[in-house]
């Protein structure tokens, strides 16, 4: 079926997604085309996945050349692309050792496992609990949905794994009160993305990092949506003057090819040994060829700086064009992860934007989330802002 008229109730798919009546068939840079030939300006990037735009030439070349060479071998063998991709990650971050997997949830799952194993086998202290934060999002596996601070992702999935505690964000007293002899790690996003584009307070995260250091608690930063240049730094933790013990990546890591990674500091290296964790598809020659090309491009072309500049421009334009609008409560974000918090639900605006040829998503019911690719042009930002300003004005 080429058209989007097929409802999931009548299809062979489980109805896990509320899909828009749109079928996208081609992409290039910031643009997508549907099956009727209509063109869309893409300001969601597959939810922060296609950070280099659609079908980026250099990544495609790396992928095609690897496709001619070798697709898959087991992790029982050395995989040079994997080692090289890992070195690029550790050379450009505070981390020292990488585990590759296939998605964000798996990267967080690996982080939770590594944190527990470090405490239990290296520190010998029996600690297992992971403290996470309200409104966070960490994935859909049983452990990561338990870690997620949103009730809606947990409904109907009991019993949930033990050893997770969720507290309010930016509340250092709540964190102090939550820490116990069982606390293995705290886990958080530097900008809560699904939760509504809420950057963490600098004071809070710096105090939390100090507290972790003092108490022997590991700091896990979920960079799945914020990583790979999106916030104007390669990794968002760099904005806050802290260094996580573990951070996780997926989304933008493969420019659209599915891949995830967990990056850990040296002291955690020995907590995993041969056979303690693994993944059949983790870090295949193909996936890691793409990771290599993605990091080389982002770092080599200074794309975090570009994201910072374009993000400032985007926010400035939004503030100018939406000034004095009662429906707009706040425009916030870091780099190219930007939220427009509105006084009411934004669903109708998203649909209208699609009709006008602009793709944007929400982050919670009242926040319009903008995630253009890092190479987005000023003219494209102007066009998106013009459409949004027009729709928001009509709405308010
Ligand atoms: C998307 C996301 C995840 C989950 O990633 P999947 O690849 O869908 O498993 C986890 N954490 C954050 C912050 C995310 O944005």
| Euclidean distance between CA atoms 144 and 157, whole angstroms | 12
| Euclidean distance between CA atoms 174 and 172, whole angstroms | 5
Q: Cα angle at 255 between 197 and 369, to 5 degrees?
A: 20
Percent of the chain with pLDDT over 70: 98
| Ramachandran angles phi, psi of 39, nearest 5° | -100, 140
Q: How confident is the model at residue 396 (pLDDT cuts 50, 70, 90)?
A: confident
| Ramachandran angles phi, psi of 213, nearest 5° | -55, -45
* 220 CB near ligand 1 (under 6 Å): no
Mean predicted confidence (pLDDT) in 77-83? 98
Which whole-number Å values give the CA distances from 338 to 65, 68, 142, 221, in the listed order? 35, 39, 29, 19
* 139 CB near ligand 1 (under 6 Å): yes
**Tell me, what's the pLDDT at 2?**
44
Mutation to probe ligand 1, out of 50, 109, 136, 137 (largest number of atoms < 8 A from CB): 137
Q: What is the pLDDT of residues 294-312, one digit of tens each?
A: 999 999 999 999 999 999 9
Q: Which of 45, 50, 25 is nearest to 36 (CA)?
A: 25
pLDDT higher than threshold 50 for residue 1: no
pLDDT higher than threshold 90 for residue 142: yes
**Exposure string (b/e) for 150-180, b if CB count within 10 Å is 16 or more?**
beebeeeeeeeeebbebbebbebeebeebbe
Mean predicted confidence (pLDDT) in 236-256? 98
Residue by residue, DSSP assigns 200-254 as PPHHHHHHHHHHHHHHT-EEEEE-TTTTTTTTSSSSGGGGGT---SEEEE-GGGG
**Tell me, what's the pLDDT at 10?**
75
Mean predicted confidence (pLDDT) in 264-278? 97
pLDDT higher than threshold 50 for residue 3: no
147 Cα to the center of ligand 1, angstroms: 12
* 109 CB near ligand 1 (under 6 Å): no
* 247 CB near ligand 1 (under 6 Å): no
Asked if 59 and 297 count as a contact pair (C-beta separation under 8 A), the reply is yes
pLDDT higher than threshold 70 for residue 92: yes
Q: What is the pLDDT of residues 15-73, one digit of tens each?
A: 999 999 999 999 999 999 999 999 999 999 999 999 999 999 999 999 999 999 999 99
Q: What is the pLDDT of residues 149-183, one digit of tens each?
A: 999 999 999 999 999 999 999 999 999 999 999 99
pLDDT higher than threshold 50 for residue 327: yes
36 Cα to the center of ligand 1, angstroms: 31
Q: What is the pLDDT of residues 180-217, one digit of tens each?
A: 999 999 999 999 999 999 999 999 999 999 999 999 99
* 224 CB near ligand 1 (under 6 Å): yes
Tokens of 56: 């980026």
Pairing mode, strands 337-342 and 328-334 = antiparallel
Q: What structural domains and CATH numbers belong to the chain?
A: 66-300 (3.40.640.10)
pLDDT higher than threshold 70 for residue 6: no
Give me Rg for the CA atoms of the chain: 21
| Euclidean distance between CA atoms 254 and 62, whole angstroms | 11
Mean predicted confidence (pLDDT) in 344-363? 97
């Amino acid at each position: 079926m080429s058209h989007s008229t097929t409802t999931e109730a009548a299809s062979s798919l489980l109805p896990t997604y509320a899909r828009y009546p749109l079928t996208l068939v081609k992409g290039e840079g910031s643009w997508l085309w549907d099956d009727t030939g209509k063109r869309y300006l893409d300001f969601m990037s597959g939810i922060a996945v296609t950070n280099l735009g659609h079908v980026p030439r250099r990544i495609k070349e790396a992928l095609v050349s690897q496709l001619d060479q070798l697709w898959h071998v087991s992790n029982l063998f050395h995989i040079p692309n994997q080692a090289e991709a890992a070195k690029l990650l550790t050379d450009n971050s505070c981390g020292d050792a990488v585990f590759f997997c296939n998605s964000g949830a798996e990267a967080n799952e690996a982080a939770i496992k590594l944190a527990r194993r470090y405490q239990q086998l290296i520190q010998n202290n029996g600690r297992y609990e992971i403290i996470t934060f309200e409104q966070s999002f960490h994935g859909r596996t049983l452990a990561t949905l338990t870690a997620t601070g949103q009730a809606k992702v947990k409904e109907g999935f009991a019993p949930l794994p033990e050893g997770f505690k969720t507290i309010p964000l930016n509340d250092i007293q709540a964190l102090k009160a939550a820490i116990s002899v069982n606390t293995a790690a705290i886990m958080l996003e530097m900008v809560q993305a699904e939760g509504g584009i809420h950057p963490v307070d600098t004071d809070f995260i710096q105090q939390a990092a100090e507290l972790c250091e003092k108490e022997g608690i590991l700091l896990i930063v979920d960079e799945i949506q914020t990583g790979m240049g999106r916030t104007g730094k390669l990794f968002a933790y760099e904005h806050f003057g802290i260094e996580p013990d573990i951070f996780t990546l997926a989304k933008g890591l493969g420019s659209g090819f599915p891949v995830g990674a967990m990056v850990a500091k040296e002291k955690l290296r020995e907590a995993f040994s041969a056979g303690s964790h693994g993944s059949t598809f983790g870090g295949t020659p193909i996936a890691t060829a793409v990771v290599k090309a993605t990091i080389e491009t982002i770092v080599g072309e200074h794309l975090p700086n570009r994201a910072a500049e374009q993000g400032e421009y985007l926010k400035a334009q939004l503030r100018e064009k939406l000034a004095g609008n009662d429906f707009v409560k706040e425009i916030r974000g870091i780099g190219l992860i930007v939220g427009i918090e509105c006084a009411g639900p934004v669903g109708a605006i998203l649909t209208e934007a699609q009709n006008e040829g602009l793709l944007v998503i929400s982050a919670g019911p009242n926040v319009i989330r903008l995630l253009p690719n890092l190479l987005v042009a000023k003219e494209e930002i102007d066009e998106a802002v013009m459409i949004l300003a027009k729709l928001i004005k009509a709405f308010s």
